[in-house]
Amino acid sequence: MKKHLIILLILLVMLPNQVLGATGTKVLNLTVDPQKVLFDIRNVKPGDSFPRKIAVMNKGNNGFKYIVTNKFITGSKEFYDRLILKIEDGTKVVYEGNLKDFEKLDPRLLKSKSKEDLYFYITVPYELDNKYQGLNCEFQLKFYVEGTLGGALPADGPRLPATGTNMFNFLVAGITLVLAGGTLQFIKSRRKQDKPI
119-141: pLDDT as tens digits: 888 888 888 777 777 778 888 88
Closest CA to 156 of 72, 59, 50: 59
CATH of the domain at 135: 2.60.40
In whole angstroms, how far apart are CA 187 and each of 71, 127, 181?
A: 71, 95, 10
Indicate whether 69 belongs to any domain.
Answer: yes
**How many Cα atoms occupy the beta-carbon half-sphere of 178 within 13 Å?**
6
Asked whether residue 57 is assigned to any structural domain, the reply reads yes
Rounded to two decimals, the pTM is: 0.59
Find out whether 120 and 38 touch, Cβ atoms under 8 Å: yes
- Cα dihedral sign, 41-46-48-52: positive
Q: Is residue 193 part of a domain?
A: no
Asked whether residue 105 is domain-assigned, the answer is yes
pLDDT score recorded for residue 164: 66
Would you place residue 67 in the very low, low, confident or very high pLDDT band (cuts 50, 70, 90)?
A: confident
Residues 6+ away with beta carbon under 8 Å from 72: 80, 100, 137, 138, 139
Say if 172 falls within a structural domain. no
State the total domains in the chain: 1
Write out the residue range of the structural domain in which residue 62 sits.
30-145
User: Distance between alpha carbon 181 and the CA centroid of its chain, in Å?
Assistant: 47
* Gap between the Cα atoms of 20 and 77, Å rounded: 55
Assigned domain for 186 exists: no
Side by side, which strands form the sheet with 114-123? Answer: 30-33, 49-58, 114-123, 84-88, 93-98
Indicate the SS3 state at residue 146.
coil
Residue 145 or residue 14, greater confidence:
145
Q: What is the mean pLDDT of residues 18-26?
A: 41
Phi and psi of 37, rounded to 5°? -120, 125
Which tops the pLDDT comparison, 36 or 3? Answer: 36
Q: How far is CA 152 from CA 35, 43, 145, in A?
A: 19, 35, 9
Average pLDDT of the residues in 34-40: 67
User: Mean pLDDT over all residues of the chain?
Assistant: 74
Within a domain: 170 = no
pLDDT at 162: 63
